[in-house]
Amino acid sequence: MSPRPEEAAMRREVVKRIEMVIKDLWPTADVQIFGSFSTGLYLPTSDIDLVVFGKWERPPLQLLEQALRKHSVAEPYSIKVLDKATVPIIKLTDQETEVKVDISFNVETGVKAARFIKEYMKKYSLLPYLILVLKQFLLQRDLNEVFTGGISSYSLILMAISFLQLHPRIDARRADENLGMLLIEFFELYGRNFNYLKTGIRIKNGGAYIAKEEIMKVMTNGYRPSMLCIEDPLLPGNDVGRSSYGAMQVKQVFDYAYIVLSHAVSPLARSYPNRDSESTLGRIIKVTQEVIDYRAWIKKKWGNKINLSPELDNRLKIRDQIAPCSGEQQQNRDSQPPYNQHLALSLASTQQLSSGSSASSVSSLSGSDIQHSGMKFSMKGAHNHNQGNGYSPVSSGGMRQPVGNRGHHQYNRNIWRRKKHRDSLPISLSR
């Protein structure tokens, strides 16, 4: 699900159309991109976040709304002005591409956060690989937004940064580290070992786990640390996870993913082959046909308009959709290592897992443990995984996917509408 050049070209056109409307109203206004499109960590159906800087006493939300309607940039019924929100924004859906856009005014925090994430992407070259897989994992379970009971992308990225900062194995931060192993260890940490009740996450000064009582001392406006407490590295006293009321649902699906993947790469998995999935990672992640068709439509329409800026060219090295766990070797791996090839080499089989590394890196696992090639896995029964109808147990010890089997229906919430002026835009897509 990594970004493709033609998808970036399409999004730049969306930004250009909106920027022209803004510049027509306020010629001196400064329009900046932040969020996932700025960092390159966006999925095919992710939003675009824009912020407009200018000299206004109050954000001119209604004025921009009228201009957007006048120029038919957005679908008429998609424009919403949220002037009562903590950060007032305009939400809209682009008329031509149906990419969703959020526009705010004079808010610097998003731009600073994007800059902060880019710095850590340079420091930890493995970070983008983990983030894209984790974002897709949460997206298909409707846990990628705070208002649907999940966590924000910023919270997820900070959790991944903390995971790499405090990993007990020094080699976990190397560029050639086994990504499949890191993914399992991430799910293990935040799915079963992390103490959400008492512990907060700190990123600055090299990272640390700190008691929530310490965080509460510096929090402003009488706030108390949330269940998923993440100290904002850019705004002291702010808890990034404060609004994530469904953090325990995220913990539950992380635990589920840990059990499924650790079982899939264990020797016992050979006795219970997974015939319903083409790959190991496919046991927990599925890309719908609608998204595949949508990406093909984008490639057909914008494939000849690719003109990458140097900055975007560095962020968009990945050209192919993630196809992990295929076991295919890449002969020229060192010259250009795309995300999908990293994961393909990481989760293909237990023989390819790095010897001497441990899936139980943070603390010992519960349940019956088995040892294989220097790795320790927790096994609670063998399961046959059926992607279409949830996960069906093979034995009496089988388990079912938590959180109401949200699994593979993530694109049914919003319906794409065919328009006469559009060339075969796929339907049944949402973020």
pLDDT of 118 higher than 80: yes
The pLDDT of residue 114 is 95
When computed from its CA atoms, the radius of gyration of the chain, rounded to whole angstroms, is 22
* Contact predicate 362/165, CB 8 Å: no
Alpha carbon distance, N-terminus to C-terminus of the chain: 13
Cβ atoms of 343 and 353 closer than 8 Å: no
231-267 tens-digit pLDDT: 999 988 888 988 888 899 999 999 999 999 998 888 8
In the predicted structure, residue 136 carries a pLDDT above the cut 50: yes
Q: How far is CA 394 from CA 127, 274, 278, 309, 370, in A?
A: 35, 11, 19, 52, 20
CB atoms within 10 A of CB 126: 21
Q: Which two tokens stand for residue 356?
A: 């001497």
Of 119-133, 210-224, 305-319, least confident by mean pLDDT is 305-319
At residue 198, the pLDDT reads: 93
Q: What pLDDT score does 110 carry?
A: 92
Specify the pairing of strand 30-34 against strand 48-53. antiparallel
What is the CB-side half-sphere exposure of residue 109 using CA atoms within 13 A? 11
Least confident span in 81-90, 116-125, 270-279: 270-279
Tokens matching residue 153:
């992308």
Residue 381 has pLDDT above 90, yes or no: no
d(C-alpha 132, C-alpha 146), whole Å: 18
Q: How far apart are CA 47 and CA 44, in angstroms?
A: 9
| Residue of 274 and 422 predicted with greater confidence | 274
Within a 10 A sphere around the Cβ of 41, how many other Cβ atoms? 24
Contact of 152 with 35, CB cutoff 8 Å: no
pLDDT at 86: 79
The pLDDT, as a whole number, for residue 264 is: 87
What is the model's pLDDT at position 176?
Answer: 82
Contact in structure between 191 and 258 (CB atoms under 8 Å): yes
pLDDT at 68: 93
Distance from C-alpha of 238 to C-alpha of 221, rounded to nearest angstrom:
10
Mean pLDDT is lowest, of 54-63, 75-84, 238-247, 403-412, for 403-412
What average pLDDT score do residues 402-430 get?
41
In sequence order, what E strands does 62-219 have?
Answer: 80-82, 89-93, 100-105, 199-202, 208-211
pTM, full prediction: 0.73
Interatomic CA distance for residues 47 and 11, integer angstroms: 10
SS3 289: helix
The 10 Å Cβ neighbour count of residue 383 is 23
Percentage of the residues of the chain whose pLDDT score is greater than 70: 68
Taking residues 111-130, what's their average pLDDT?
94
Q: What is the mean pLDDT of residues 33-52?
A: 94
Which pLDDT does position 402 carry in this prediction?
52
pLDDT in tens, 175-200: 888 899 999 999 999 999 999 999 99
What 3-state class would DSSP assign to 163? helix
Give per-residue pLDDT as tens, 299-319. Answer: 999 888 765 444 444 444 433
As given in the structure block, the two tokens for residue 182 are 């890191």
Q: What is the pLDDT of residue 32?
A: 95
pLDDT of 214 reads: 86
Assess whether pLDDT exceeds 60 at residue 360: no
Give the pLDDT confidence of 312-340 residue by residue, as tens digits.
444 444 333 333 443 333 333 333 334 44
State the pLDDT confidence band at 217, using cuts at 50, 70 and 90. confident
Q: What is the mean pLDDT of residues 11-21?
A: 95
pLDDT exceeds 70 at position 358: no
19, 11 in Cβ contact below 8 A? Answer: no
Nearest C-alpha neighbor of 7 from the set 408, 312, 421, 415: 312
Query: What number of other Cβ atoms are within 10 A of residue 221's Cβ?
Result: 6
DSSP readout, 20-37? HHHHHH-TT-EEEEETHH
pLDDT at 146: 86
Instruction: Label residue 152 by pLDDT band (50, 70, 90).
Output: very high
pLDDT > 90 fraction of the chain, expressed in percent and rounded: 47
Q: Using the predicted structure, report yes or no on whether residue 36 has a pLDDT greater than 50.
A: yes
